[in-house]
A and B are shown apart, each in its own frame.
Chain A
Amino acid sequence: MKRLFLAAAAALFALSCAGAGAAGIKPGLVYDLGGKFDKSFNEGVYNGAVKFRADTGIDFRELEIQTDSQRVQALRNFARRGHDPILAVGFQYASSMDKVASEFPGTRFAIIDTVIDRPNVQSIVFKEHEGSFIVGVLAAMAAGSDRIGFVGGMDVPLIRRFACGYVQGARHAKPAIEVFQNMTGSTGAAWNDPVKGAELARSQFDRGAEVVYHAAGATGLGVLQAAADAGRLGIGVDSNQNHLHPGNVLTSMLKRVDVAAYDVFDSARRGVWKPGVRVFGLKEDGVGWSLDEYNEALVTPAMKAAADEAARRIIAGDIEVHDYVTGGECPVK
């Protein structure tokens, strides 16, 4: 009996050592209200984390919050259980992470879409205005008429940044184009209301919009659905959404949150993780647009050339895309 116990204890010890040796880090991941499977923003992060797990064999813990009040709780629980690094998806974690990061100075945190100035936090921000500029160019060229639209999720500066870049891109291609803009709401629920998204898209189609771009998480699924139902074009966001409605999704504005998530975990694994701000723009391949077998029939060579040219000029600094978040009020309507 005693020997059995010893053997079991030894086995357990060996197992835990092996676990610790192979893992090294215990990554934690908390999603935003849109949910893990929004086929867009959160799902992009999830895909990056899954790739990390496949490549390294290190598992990660994840949590989908249901209400705003769970943010602090979720981060604190992960930190208390020794998860490190902890990645929070979305700017709405800003105040919660600021608080929890100060409580656990020895834990490495990372946050996407906002900047937190703490010695143990890495802030990852994207130049969505640059990616949106490119899809704006594509939208303007794809629209036969002079009307296109934009549906945002929650009415916050971040989403205004998408809208502003999009309008600038559209005006760049067609100076006289009219861009309708709608926001779904002013609370977190605006990320997860496809019915409202579809109604907003329809209202823009009724006014003559031919292409509608969404930056609205799961709400955008309704926007793309409405575009497909109406036989118009939608533009996806964050993840590649071209496959959702082949032939009715012009392109997707890629925001490589998957790359960012992978990088956070992997740099921590290799011991090269650094706090501070990291910016992903066109130059860093952090934003872009998607072209695959689902939309190649929709994108003409002229459109592709114009998009590539615009991207080249933005990277070279010839075109300065106005950033709503830092620059304030969009210069174009």
Chain B
Amino acid sequence: MAVPVLDSTLRLSVPLILAALAGLFSERSGIIDIGLEGKMLGAAFAAAATAALTGSPWAGLAAGVGVSVLLAMVHGYACITHRGNQVVSGLALNILASGLTAVLGVAWFAQGGRTPQLPGEARFLLLEWPGAAALRDMPGLGAVYGELLSGHNLLVYLAFLAVPAVGWVLYRTRFGLRLRAAGENPHSVDAAGVPVPGLRYRALVCTGVLCGVAGTYLSLAQSAGFINDMTAGKGYIALAALIFGKWRPVPAMLACLLFGLLDAVAIRLQGTDIPGVGEVPVQLVQALPYILTVVLLAGFIGRAVPPRALGVPYVKER
């Protein structure tokens, strides 16, 4: 029972983790990114459309990342170059992506906004680790290795490797130091002779790449094609997880895993009898993640302090 639930948790939390890490780059550099949702959706569509046409998941991944980075640059152009309102720009991107993917989908594929169902070779398929099949039936470690660790697609492993990688970039490299400084005190960065806009643009490129992978995961790995609004609020949940995690990679990942776990448990709880309670109504089970979110937000995580310059366009003093 426990291993399949955790297995499902991993699958469900991957897009959240990637999106939360994407938001981390942007927000740590001082740009509010409410547009994670839109970037993921755009990437999911581009990836599915490209994979449908070329039959290659790698071409799909490239297209997904490309579109996501492009959208991130639009956000950057509005917020960094023109110092526009970051929330409005992000929201505009979300609406744009939601509408544009549907319109283009109808125009290109004439299937009500859906892309054609993708065959196996156009998707990221499950990777079996050596010896997994033999160990699967062994209780304990064997099951953990055979079921939980093995048998996911490449992007799942990529997402979990991205967490330490992002941590390393953020805390151990010069770029990371400057990025964090740009989010806390951009004037000090400027005084050190590093242009803040350039730094923030580079942060947004990182955001775009990670969002692109997240979107590609949705349409090429988790399902076999694009469906209208398939992100279904995952971008916002990732943003919430980022705040839960106080803008740090590992805590943000843990928050994403918690959301994934709640989702997985909600799916498994359905229709099963809980001792002493009986069968829980479907509606209550489905509301559980949200109820717990409110409870956790209200009582358990303590104060989350955002980067100080978050949402403030940088104006160079003369």
Q: A interface vs B, CB < 8 Å?
A: 35-38, 64, 155, 180-183, 185-186, 189, 192-196, 198-200, 202-203, 206, 218, 221-222, 225, 229, 244
When A35-B114, A183-B270 are in contact, do A155 and B282 touch as well, CB less than 8 Å? yes
Q: How far does the alpha carbon of A194 sit from the alpha carbon of B50 in the complex, in Å? A: 20
Distance from A130 Cβ to chain B, minimum over Cβ atoms (Å): 24
Beta-carbon contact of A37 and B224 below 8 Å: no
Q: Is B227 an interface residue (CB 8 A)?
A: yes
Q: How far does the alpha carbon of A218 sit from the alpha carbon of B223 in the complex, in Å? A: 12
Q: Is B112 an interface residue (CB 8 A)?
A: yes
Q: How far does the alpha carbon of A202 sit from the alpha carbon of B4 in the complex, in Å? A: 9
Q: Told that A155-B283, A194-B227, A218-B227 touch, could you supply 18 new A-B pairs with CB distance under 8 A?
A: A35-B228, A180-B271, A181-B271, A182-B270, A183-B270, A185-B286, A186-B282, A186-B283, A189-B232, A195-B223, A199-B267, A202-B4, A202-B8, A203-B4, A203-B8, A218-B114, A225-B117, A244-B117
Measured between beta carbons, the chain A residues less than 8 angstroms from B271 are 180-183
Beta-carbon contact of A196 and B227 below 8 Å: no
Beta-carbon contact of A193 and B232 below 8 Å: yes
Beta-carbon contact of A206 and B117 below 8 Å: no
Measured between beta carbons, the chain B residues less than 8 angstroms from A181 are 271
18 A–B pairs (Cβ distance < 8 Å), ordered by A:
A37-B114, A155-B283, A182-B270, A182-B271, A183-B282, A186-B282, A192-B228, A194-B227, A195-B218, A195-B222, A195-B230, A196-B267, A199-B11, A199-B12, A199-B267, A202-B4, A203-B267, A222-B223
Measured between beta carbons, the chain A residues less than 8 angstroms from B8 are 199, 202-203
Q: Is B264 an interface residue (CB 8 A)?
A: yes
Give the contact-size bracket for chain B.
20 to 34
In this complex, what residue of B is CB-closest to A202?
A: B8
Q: Is B60 an interface residue (CB 8 A)?
A: no
0 or 1 for each of B256-298: is its CB under 8 Å from A? (1 = yes): 0000000010011011000000000011001000000000000
Q: How far does the alpha carbon of A183 sit from the alpha carbon of B271 in the complex, in Å? A: 9
When A182-B271, A185-B286, A206-B4 are in contact, do A198 and B222 touch as well, CB less than 8 Å? yes
Measured between beta carbons, the chain A residues less than 8 angstroms from B126 are 229
A221: which of B11, B112, B117, B264 is its contact (CB, 8 Å)?
Answer: B117
Distance from A187 Cβ to chain B, minimum over Cβ atoms (Å): 9
A199: which of B111, B227, B228, B264 is its contact (CB, 8 Å)?
Answer: B264
Measured between beta carbons, the chain A residues less than 8 angstroms from B249 are none
